[in-house]
Amino acid sequence: MGKEQTVKKEQKMSDKTPIPYLGTPQATTAVLEKYHFVFQKKFGQNFLIDPRVLEKIIAAAEITKDDFVLEIGPGIGTMTQYLCASAREVAAVEIDKALIPILEDTLKEYDNVQIINEDILKVDIGKLAREKNQGRPIKVVANLPYYITTPIIMGLLENHVPFETITIMVQKEVADRMKTGPGSKDYGALSLAVQYYVKPEIVANVPPNCFMPRPNVGSAVIRLTRHREPALDVRDEKLMFRLIRASFNQRRKTLVNGLKNSPDLNFSREEIEAAVTAIGKPLTIRGETLTLEEFAALANVFSGKKE
């Protein structure tokens, strides 16, 4: 995993699992002051300071002592303490190296955690799941850094990371985007990817005063549960998502023009017009009005042809 730095715990867990103590404004402030920690805006650092929210996240993720949990962005280890207390094993991936000595301190009571100093977008999560959980589905839990929410979620979904559930704190507007359908300005590639792979459920709405520092936006905890069976019969999933991206990259254009102009697709105008007609749509339609089922039907028409 490249420049990954793994920090092994030396101290063994005692017979009794330690009780998580971070998660209040006082405990968080004490840790930040002890280490003279300076918040990095560029890393989207907003730490949770409300134990009720932390308990809700852990309950929604339904973590048991059988579970291997990946936490993205542990910060000072607030939620990590709760995860270590409930799970069999936790891997916590944190980009900010200034947080590593803090995590070593706040997690020293736990011997079931591995801290990985890396950018989550560079981690081979499939490999981690194979090594740590014999390839069985893992659980992902995170209070996500908001500046890269979409690439993280799309990466987990489209790279076929073996997961059972993903329970994440996101910007309220992003949670809404995941659940919405055609007709909303929030409808887009994220909505379609989420609805294709998982069932999204909003577990809690979380106001800015539950974080330090306070974000400018409202947040929500959303749980994504993988469909047991694929939601739809799509012959070429990758093609379907190329069609979806091409349609939403040029939202204001007709579906036909959006697909014709896309550098990722190589169909002739005639082929595109025939496919749109084959799914029963007029040639003037915009891509943003298509449902997931209609994108799947369109992909199936195309995948019967040569690109």
CA angle 61, 39, 49 (to 5 degrees): 40
Q: Which is nearer to ligand SAM, 117 or 133 (CB)?
A: 117
Least Å distance, CB 191 to ligand SAM, is 23
For the chain, count helices (H), then strands (E). 12, 10
Indicate whether 20 belongs to the interface with ligand SAM (CB under 6 A).
no
For residue 152, the number of C-alpha atoms closer than 13 Å in the C-beta half-sphere is 23
Q: Do residues 73 and 94 touch, judged by C-beta distance below 8 A?
A: yes
| 11, 73, 122, 127, 287 from 189: Cα distances, Å | 45, 24, 22, 26, 11
Q: Which is nearer to ligand SAM, 47 or 68 (CB)?
A: 47
Answer for which of 74, 188, 258, 287 binds ligand SAM (CB under 6 A) is 74
Least Å distance, CB 147 to ligand SAM, is 7
Least Å distance, CB 55 to ligand SAM, is 13
Q: Judged by CB under 6 A, which stretch of 1-9, 40-48, 190-198, 239-247 contacts ligand SAM?
A: 40-48
Give, for 189, the enclosing helix (H) or strand (E).
Answer: helix 189-197
Q: Which is nearer to ligand SAM, 128 or 259 (CB)?
A: 128
E-strand ranges in 65-112 read 68-72, 89-94
Least Å distance, CB 258 to ligand SAM, is 31
Least Å distance, CB 307 to ligand SAM, is 34
Site string for ligand SAM, 84-113 (x = CB under 6 A): ---------xxxx--x--------------
Residue in the shown chain whose Cβ atom is closest to ligand SAM: 73
Residue from 4, 110, 113, 126 nearest 69 by CA: 113
Q: Cβ contacts of residue 15 below 8 Å, gap of 6+?
A: none
| Ramachandran angles phi, psi of 153, nearest 5° | -65, -45
Indicate whether 168 belongs to the interface with ligand SAM (CB under 6 A).
no
By CB under 6 A, what part of segment 110-149 binds ligand SAM?
A: 119-121, 143, 145, 148
Residue from 27, 45, 51, 103 nearest 210 by CA: 51
Answer for which of 20, 75, 258, 287 binds ligand SAM (CB under 6 A) is 75
Least Å distance, CB 296 to ligand SAM, is 32
Indicate whether 45 belongs to the interface with ligand SAM (CB under 6 A).
yes
Bridge partner residues of 111 (DSSP): none
Could you list the residues that contact ligand SAM (CB under 6 A)?
43-48, 72-75, 78-79, 93-96, 99, 119-121, 143, 145, 148
